[in-house]
Amino acid sequence: MNKILLAIKILLNIIILCYANKCIKIFKNESFSRGKYLSFENHKHNIKKMFIKSNFKVNIKKYNKSKIYLSNEIYVFDFSKKLIDYRLAFELQSFLHQSKIILQNENSLNISNKLELNKLKNFKKNLNKYDFCFILQHTPCYTLGSAADPNDILLDKINYYVEELENIHSNFNSDKIIQFINKHENIKNDLDKCDNYDEKKNYFDDFLYNANKKKIPIYRINRGGKATYHGPGQLVLYFIFNLKNYSSNYSQKGISSNCIYPKKHFATSENKEYHVLNENSKDNTTSIEHLFDLHKTINNFQKIGMETLNKFKIKTHTKDNTIGVFYNNKKIISIGMKIRKYVSMHGMSLNFNINKNFLKFLLSCGMNHNHYTSLHELVEIQKNNNINNNKESYNSTLLEKLTSYSIESLKMIFDAKVKVVDDICSIFA
């Protein structure tokens, strides 16, 4: 009887082992077909551990893969001490924004003139290689975003007119790009002619004098948001970025689930390369649209401002259901963007020495002037100012530090290489 029981036990063990081996083979085959395998270059991994940890829901092998090359190189144009006419700055950033959109997917350039064709090719090469950030100040002006109410402007209507800039580069094509390239020297000259910022000058009195003398333009533009003031004492950063170039703009969960990494984790490198599913595939259920995180992207721009002020040991915060950066519940940084086909324009403005009398003529972002503050009003800055005997020298140093800290923060938040220049001709070289 004992021999029979022993024989039955042995037989059952053999059956269990055979069934287990069969299950393992099926599991391996299904895992590979479902994309449940991460490939790391030049590394050997324990396959059993890989399968246990994997939890992919997408059939990667079924679709074609495309590559995102994250070059992360930014040209920063430092015009921080210049007061740039708003229309001139808008025309320049709008041109670059439209050009990036048109030329990034344009393979055939139908231009017969060889000289102009070479100019366009060089320009396209720079557009694909670099993103652009402009740091500047503006002459006093008011702008209306897409959500602006005309009643937010509190100036007397006889003192202003609305100039439409939102469609300044409509029907844009390669011929118009060539025209703009050919006149870039004129734009450079116009930028050079702009006045330098003078903290001793009373810009508000000059503004009132001009407003009473003739009608001033109020610009309706293509950014999000409401009415906003720009002028001396406010540092503006415009971002003409291909936002797909930056891993910080993607959902970390989405990337980790749908990309094959050349390295074990995200890290700063000379040339990051991630494979994602082909966004043009009809069957693709997880495309770039699903990986790109707009909320995270906008938050990254807020982080640039917060990190910049943190370098002055100034603690700031954001608010739910609104965009911008606040100090003790008063707004110090405003953000308004336009994003089309993942390419951004417009950006952020940081008040560092603003005359708040300008804010009395509008409900800026729907708020009155008492809800805003400026860097020079903050206790943290005033303490340093009192230590320094020369106020003018300190204010000049404040602007220089603010510009430098902004560039450092941009570099850190977007994990980017940065090249600071002050000549726009480098874009077209």
Domain boundaries of the chain, sorted by first residue? 73-245+292-428
Give pLDDT tens digits along the chain (429 positions): 666 777 777 777 777 766 656 555 554 454 444 333 333 334 444 433 333 233 333 333 444 444 444 557 999 999 999 999 999 999 999 999 999 998 887 766 677 788 888 888 899 999 999 999 999 999 999 999 988 888 888 888 899 999 999 877 667 787 888 888 998 899 999 999 999 999 999 999 999 998 888 899 999 999 988 899 999 999 999 999 999 989 888 886 655 544 444 443 333 334 444 334 344 444 443 456 668 888 999 999 999 999 999 999 999 999 988 899 999 999 999 999 999 999 999 999 999 999 999 998 887 666 666 789 999 999 777 776 665 556 555 567 899 999 999 999 999 999 999 999 989 998 887
Alpha-helical (H) ranges within 34-129 are: 47-53, 86-103, 114-129
Q: How far apart are CA 38 and CA 171, in angstroms?
A: 45
Q: How far apart are CA 239 and CA 242, in angstroms?
A: 9
Host H or E run for residue 65? strand 65-70
At 228 the pLDDT is: 92
At 289 the pLDDT is: 63
At 103 the pLDDT is: 87
Q: How far apart are CA 100 and CA 193, in angstroms?
A: 27
Per DSSP, 341 falls in state T
CATH superfamily to which 73-245+292-428 belongs: Bira Bifunctional Protein; Domain 2 (3.30.930.10)
Strand 325-327 versus strand 227-230 pairing type = unpaired
* E strands in 204-258: 216-220, 227-230, 234-240
At 404 the pLDDT is: 97
Q: Contact at 8 Å (CB) between 144 and 362? A: no
Tell me the whole-structure pTM to 2 decimals. Answer: 0.76
Maximum distance among all Cα pairs of the chain, rounded to whole angstroms: 117
